[in-house]
Amino acid sequence: MKNTLYLECYSGISGDMTVAALLDLGADEETLRQGLKSLNISGYKIKISCTSKCGIQAKDFDVLLEEHHNHHHTHRNIKDINEIISNSNITQNAKEIALKTFKIIAEAEAKVHGKSMEEVHFHEVGAIDSIVDIVAAAICMDNLKIEQVIVSPIYEGHGHVRCQHGIIPVPVPAVVEIAKRENLQLKLTDTEGEMVTPTGAAIVAALKTGNQLPNNYIIEKIGIGAGKKDFPKANILRAYILQTIEDNEDQVILLQCNIDDMTGEELGFALEAIIEEGALDANFSPIFMKKNRPAYELTVICKEEDNTKLKKAIFKHTTTLGIRTIPSTRSIMKRTITNFSSTLGEVKIKEAKYEDITKRTIEYEDAKKIAKKHNLSISEVFKKIYSEILK
């Protein structure tokens, strides 16, 4: 059972909101303070307190810059920031989360400003408060031992906001670029103002493993992080730790199209490329189209969050001009992999269960290696090992 975090971004997301919500979920404050201290950067203090947003109690995380830092932020590039994080005493997992987050921002800022990643000197994220926000979020995520992160659509406002370069539109260019690159679901609202910061967008992009909540779950804990702005609707980020309830169904997408003008070699290459892109399964079926023209129907099964990526792969690697999208419920057997020491050698066994039904299959690649090693046919290997499993 995985430790699942659900981030409900109905009032946008920022770095400080994320850290506050994770602290409210139970991330250890002392671990956070010690981790930040090991960054060896000065000029700030952190304040952790409680506040209220539209009558809802929420945790507040604030990075307070010392007076001489308020008007002069040190500009750092990605190399400087990577060194600060790598030389700290935070866990390896927390370092990887923080480094991934900064890489996402660096790539977006480079694109927006027409520079290379190395040339970008961060403004928002080069400031002390943003470094602290990102590393703090990474420390808290690691401390909570989160294994997967589901993210709601991310609500954003409209209008304009002032930045170092002048007045720019909301969503700000860096947020739009991160959303495009990382497949984030932005939902524009009628709220005036910036609800999603580049730091918040990058953190959620670095953490996200999916968009789809499990079919059945229990909420174990709720954390509420406060934003610094006051909108007509409560400016909070809600974070839930979920316990999933095992079931035998999940939601998938079927992508289908008809192809009548590709060679067998081209079809084979396309199938390999689509599977490498993350399809759960893919196959061709022979069909007859109008005027009895022979053709193939391509069917790709994928997770909902991979839908866009796989459509692009289909359009890229096949000649089709249109794809049918069919939401589908899939009944599946619960699967586990175990190692089995047979007299012929070690093999992996896949065990699948559904109610009172159990199936066991030997991993083909393991059986193939044994067959070559002992100069046996693959059927002889299967027969021998299955007889040992059943003893």
Query: Which of the four pLDDT bands, split at 50, 70 and 90, describes residue 166?
Result: confident
Same domain, 197 and 269: no
Owning domain of residue 379: 334-389
pLDDT value at 71 more than 50:
no
Query: Which of the four pLDDT bands, split at 50, 70 and 90, describes residue 123?
Result: low
pLDDT value at 107 more than 80:
yes
Judge contact between 306 and 269, C-beta under 8 A: no
Averaged confidence pLDDT in the chain:
90
pLDDT value at 70 more than 50:
no
Rounded to 5 degrees, φ, ψ at 284 are -110, 140
Task: Find the CATH number of the domain harbouring 261.
Answer: 3.30.70.1380
What is d(CA 243, CA 183) in angstroms, rounded to the nearest whole number? Answer: 26
What is d(CA 363, CA 348) in angstroms, rounded to the nearest whole number? Answer: 5
What would the pLDDT profile of 311-353 be if each residue is shown by its tens digit?
999 999 999 999 999 999 888 888 888 889 999 999 999 988 8
Same domain, 298 and 368: no
Query: Which of the four pLDDT bands, split at 50, 70 and 90, describes residue 77?
Result: confident
What local confidence, expressed as pLDDT, does residue 119 receive?
A: 73
Mean pLDDT of 123-140: 82
Tell me the percentage of the chain whose pLDDT exceeds 90.
Answer: 72
Higher pLDDT, 386 or 124: 386
Question: pTM, whole model, 2 decimals?
Answer: 0.66
Same domain, 223 and 363: no
What local confidence, expressed as pLDDT, does residue 149 receive?
A: 95
Judge contact between 362 and 371, C-beta under 8 A: no
Judge contact between 91 and 77, C-beta under 8 A: no
What would the pLDDT profile of 40-50 be if each residue is shown by its tens digit?
988 889 999 99
What local confidence, expressed as pLDDT, does residue 76 receive?
A: 77
What would the pLDDT profile of 86-100 be if each residue is shown by its tens digit?
999 999 999 999 999
Same domain, 196 and 283: no
pLDDT value at 296 more than 70:
yes
Same domain, 147 and 18: yes
325, two tokens: 């999208």
Same domain, 376 and 355: yes
Q: Which of 93-97, 296-300, 355-359 has the lowest average pLDDT?
A: 355-359
Judge contact between 273 and 313, C-beta under 8 A: yes
Domain termination residue (choose one: 287, 314, 331): 331
Same domain, 20 and 169: yes
Same domain, 209 and 275: no
Mean pLDDT of 101-114: 90
CB atoms within 10 A of CB 333: 14
Same domain, 151 and 196: yes
pLDDT value at 148 more than 80:
yes
**Angle, CA 7 vertex, CA 6 and CA 12 arms, to 5°:** 165
Rounded to 5 degrees, φ, ψ at 282 are -155, 140
How many structural domains is the chain composed of? 3
What is d(CA 190, CA 136) in angstroms, rounded to the nearest whole number? Answer: 31
Tell me the percentage of the chain whose pLDDT exceeds 70.
Answer: 95
pLDDT value at 124 more than 50:
no
Same domain, 60 and 183: yes
What local confidence, expressed as pLDDT, does residue 138 receive?
A: 97
Domain termination residue (choose one: 215, 244, 273): 244
The strand ranges marked E within 132-248 are 148-151, 154-163, 166-170, 186-192, 217-226, 236-244
Mean pLDDT of 204-211: 92
Domain termination residue (choose one: 190, 224, 244): 244
The DSSP annotation for 219-260 comes to: EEEEEEEE-SS--SS--EEEEEEEEEPP-SEEEEEEEEEEE-
Same domain, 201 and 253: no
Same domain, 13 and 36: yes
